[in-house]
Amino acid sequence: MSALVDGFGRTVRYLRISVTDRCDFRCVYCMAEEMTFLPRAQLLTLEEIAALSQAFVELGVEKIRLTGGEPLVRQGVLTLVQKLGELEGLRELAMTTNGSGLVKHADALRQGGLHRLNISLDSLKPERFKALTRTGDLGQVIAGIRAARRAGFQSIKLNAVLLKGRNDDEILDLVNFARNEHVDISFIEEMPLGAISEHNRGETFLSTDAVRETIENHYQLLPTTESTLGPSRYYRMADSQSRIGFISPHSHNFCAACNRVRVTAEGRLLLCLGNEHSVDLRAVMRRYPGDSLRLKSSIVAAMKKKPERHHFTTDGEVQIVRFMNATGG
């Protein structure tokens, strides 16, 4: 039985770890164009991430997702995947990536024990993709998606953040691409993390209800009870194995069923994506190296700080000053 139960009776079974705040893209909803990244000494070492992961698994966590920034730019991440893939009791090891490194790394990731991949894909138009990511190459990402398929992952899902007036005319194109590639896709409402100047979040907000309505004009969506322990609500189509998911932190708050915590790139245990409640686990590990009991006690005690819910708004105001790249997905 898991020891990680918060003050509202929710059991934490899912850990998301940011292995780096660095990324080779600069997506407009995730980062400012000019970013200052953490000094490397402030990041958790790969050994610290492995020890932290083991502690969480021993406390009942069943799923770990590696995120960034872009996890594949972290030197040594393949070795970390191998270590985590060997953890007894971990049922699922996943990664969220922008896909740019998958042509090179997909086979090694799969052989190392990674089960699932989430790949960000917000546009199928090369120039628009470049504008949204500021540095990304669409062709390289599509090649990475296909390399991942050949590598034989249990599940591959595309993640699309839709912005009104920016890429919402591609909803059906993205659905059809997922169908043709035999992968799943989730549509995500933009989250107000970090101050950006590139666009007004209040003006670009698009609810997943509107996205679902657009899709249902072309495909009948059949609700399912399937879950990957994450926040997506999944639907199936009668003529395709590809699932469509919706992640709706604004329009369909999913806090009541929250089973997740995050560890930031610098080792803060973040109890909620939309709040700043956190505990510095890096400090615990560096003050008491190798003391797994003390580390686990700190994690268990932190559950009392997990808030009941976030309070995101759609008026464009920033609720959280940290950017998504250092948060852990």
96 has binding-site annotation: yes
CA atoms within a 13 Å half-sphere pointing along the CA-CB vector of 292: 11
237 has binding-site annotation: no
Strands (E), 212-251: 221-223, 233-237, 240-247
Q: How far apart are CA 220 and CA 43, in angstroms?
A: 46
Residue 108 CB coordination number (10 Å) = 15
Q: How far apart are CA 20 and CA 68, in angstroms?
A: 5
The alpha helices in the chain, defined as continuous H runs, are 46-58, 77-85, 102-111, 126-133, 138-151, 171-181, 201-204, 208-216, 281-287, 292-302
Reported pTM: 0.87
65 has binding-site annotation: yes
Each residue's pLDDT tens digit, 270-283: 988 666 678 999 99
261 has binding-site annotation: yes
27 has binding-site annotation: yes
- The residue type of 108 is A
260 has binding-site annotation: yes
Each residue's pLDDT tens digit, 22-42: 898 777 777 666 667 788 889
**Taking all residues of the chain, what is their mean pLDDT, rounded to a whole number?**
87
> Which helix or strand (DSSP H or E) is residue 17 part of?
strand 14-18
Q: Per-residue confidence at 193, pLDDT binned at 50, 70, 90?
A: very low
Strand order of the β-sheet with 268-270 is: 221-223, 233-237, 240-247, 184-188, 155-161, 116-120, 92-97, 63-67, 14-18, 260-263, 268-270, 278-280
Tallying the residues shown for the chain, one arrives at 329
Tokens read off for 199:
């666009």
- The residue type of 308 is E
CA atoms within a 13 Å half-sphere pointing along the CA-CB vector of 32: 11
- The residue type of 282 is R
Each residue's pLDDT tens digit, 156-191: 999 999 888 889 999 999 999 999 999 999 999 876
Query: Counting beta carbons within 10 angstroms of the beta carbon of residue 199, is it exposed (0 to 12), middle (13 to 18) or buried (19 or more)?
Result: middle
Q: How far apart are CA 130 and CA 136, in angstroms?
A: 5
Each residue's pLDDT tens digit, 240-249: 999 999 987 6
pLDDT score for 291: 98
110 has binding-site annotation: no
16 has binding-site annotation: yes
* Block residue for tokens 């560096």: 286
Each residue's pLDDT tens digit, 230-239: 778 899 999 9
23 has binding-site annotation: yes
76 has binding-site annotation: no
285 has binding-site annotation: no
233 has binding-site annotation: no
235 has binding-site annotation: no
